[in-house]
Amino acid sequence: MKLLVTGMFALASIASGATLTVNMNVDNVFDLYLSTSDAVLGTAVGTGNNWPVTYTFTPLLTPGVTNYIHIVAVDQGLPAGFLGDFSVDDPLFQFVNGTQSLVTNTTWSFNTTGFGNPYSSPADEGVNGVGPWGTRTGVSSAAHWIWDPRNASTVYFSTPITYTGASTDTPEPAAVSLLVGGLALCLMRRRKSSV
């Protein structure tokens, strides 16, 4: 019975997923996606079109696999920049720096042709507070403005959030039913034997 109860908690944990917290600005417009493949755009989880505003999003990650943050950033006239901080609330996930927190810096990857194509390191345009943007409240002071060094108008930013636990594919509905059924049988058996 103890094994079944433990299994139930494990399934609940897998099903709930980890929460990603995003605080970001893009000069000028962006769309934010989460994907389980770096070659696929993914699911839209946020958008913004007013660069002085810090946008905050809290999407759930797909459990048990590596997720990718994909940002399609569009500049509508120089200067151009992307600034942000990101955190995940589950220690089984980590960013490229090996922690559950990441700011924009040159560890991010970008290209100007689309996700899954060869990437480069972005140009560092300075820490949050640098001109012409000034300090963007709601974003870590350690975050740096980054962009394509050639100043392309559309830039595709990507970074992985690696799942570091054992492989835990989302359970099939039949497996969940079996587990619940087994738990019910154990409880009925226990109740019968105590009578």
Give the pLDDT confidence of 71-113 residue by residue, as tens digits: 999 999 999 999 999 999 999 999 999 999 999 999 999 999 9
Residue 187 has pLDDT above 90, yes or no: no
Radius of gyration of the chain, Cα coordinates, nearest whole angstrom: 21
Cβ(128)–Cβ(84) under 8 Å?
Answer: no
Q: What is the pLDDT of residue 169?
A: 46
Confidence of residue 19 (pLDDT cuts 50, 70, 90): very high
Confidence of residue 193 (pLDDT cuts 50, 70, 90): low
Which pTM was predicted? Answer: 0.79
Give the pLDDT confidence of 30-41 residue by residue, as tens digits: 999 999 999 999
Residue 17 has pLDDT above 60, yes or no: yes
* 97: DSSP letter: T
What size, in residues, is the chain? 195
**What rounded mean pLDDT belongs to the chain?**
86
Nearest to 86 by CA among 160, 15, 153: 160
Confidence of residue 175 (pLDDT cuts 50, 70, 90): very low
| Token code pair at residue 166 | 């054992």
Residue type for position 125: E
Domain architecture of the chain: domains with CATH: 18-167 (2.60.120.260)
Q: What is the pLDDT of residue 174?
A: 45
